[in-house]
Amino acid sequence: MTTATTTTTTDEAPGAYVPSPEIIGAVLAPSERPRRPSALSASMTFGWRAMLKIKHVPEQLFDVTVFPVIMTLMFTYLFGGALAGSVTDYLQFLLPGIMVMSVIMTTMYTGVSVNTDIEKGVFDRFRTLPMWRPAPMVGYLLGDMFRYTAASLVILVLGLVLGFRPDGGPAGVLAGIAVLVLFSFAFSWVWTMFGLLMRSEKSVMGVSMMVLFPLTFLSNILVRPETMPGWLQAFVDVNPITHLVAVVRGFMEGDVGGELFWVVGWGAAFILVFGSLTMWLYNRK
């Protein structure tokens, strides 16, 4: 019985219907194959995806609305009388710095978002799509640029209400915010690397805070470096956040010095070094 069955099956196999390549092509591809999206188009699409996350979870905006307000009010009224003798006088010095601190602090959430999507398996799907490889990462950062701008505007409006009067006028204020947002875009590549490297979002946040606290507090944000010990001034002088605050403060005061070259150099270095490491990890992970 077994031999007969085997023979019958073997004899029937050559007669099985095999569709031609033309028929398969007509069924699977009835229309022209769509063009591969450009790098800009793919990046903007992922940037819009990041914006949609805010739409569906608006609580994500708390860190760029409520947090900056708390920081500004707390440091203004806590240190204003002690350091400058007047809250209004201290606000003229503090506000550009506190704007930088609030925005730079929020950059770490880029790495948290990357790590969360990896844990959910979303990046496995992204890697199968025929598109520019860095598009998902660039999209994250483009979406976060909206958050950085929102935080800057919230602090600016609050500062104007409290008595902040920038000598640089509207043009200087806009230039300062533009430099801050662009630098934050470059600095966020540090956190995309950590988002790919760390095993959990808590690890990303822990490492981020460990890096951000010394960079922000050991700078010229709250006090002038001339009042610090010499050994601490040596660190403050090479701190990239110090250069960034000096540029933003200079634009708003109408007196921009040579610090802009340092900010451009630091931003380019962040993109070149950490952007390359991010894509290397992304291709390996």
All structural domains of the chain with their residue ranges: 36-284
In 3D space, the residue among 240, 245, 241 whose CA is nearest the CA of residue 256 turns out to be 245
Which residue type is seen at 259? E
Which residue type is seen at 267? G
pLDDT of residue 187: 95
pLDDT of residue 10: 45
Give the pLDDT confidence of 225-235 residue by residue, as tens digits. 988 898 999 99
Residue 7 has pLDDT above 50, yes or no: no
User: Are the beta carbons of 191 and 110 closer than 8 angstroms?
Assistant: yes
Residue 56 has pLDDT above 60, yes or no: yes
What average pLDDT does the segment 228-254 reach? 93
Give the pLDDT confidence of 119-131 residue by residue, as tens digits. 888 777 877 788 8
Residue 3 has pLDDT above 80, yes or no: no
**Higher pLDDT pick, 76 / 50:** 76
Q: How many Cβ atoms sit within 10 Å of the Cβ of residue 77? A: 13
- Report the greatest alpha carbon distance in the chain: 105
User: Are the beta carbons of 172 and 166 closer than 8 angstroms?
Assistant: yes
Kindly state the DSSP code that residue 255 receives in the 8-state scheme. Answer: -
What average pLDDT does the segment 64-73 reach? 88
What average pLDDT does the segment 3-25 reach? 59
What average pLDDT does the segment 273-281 reach? 91
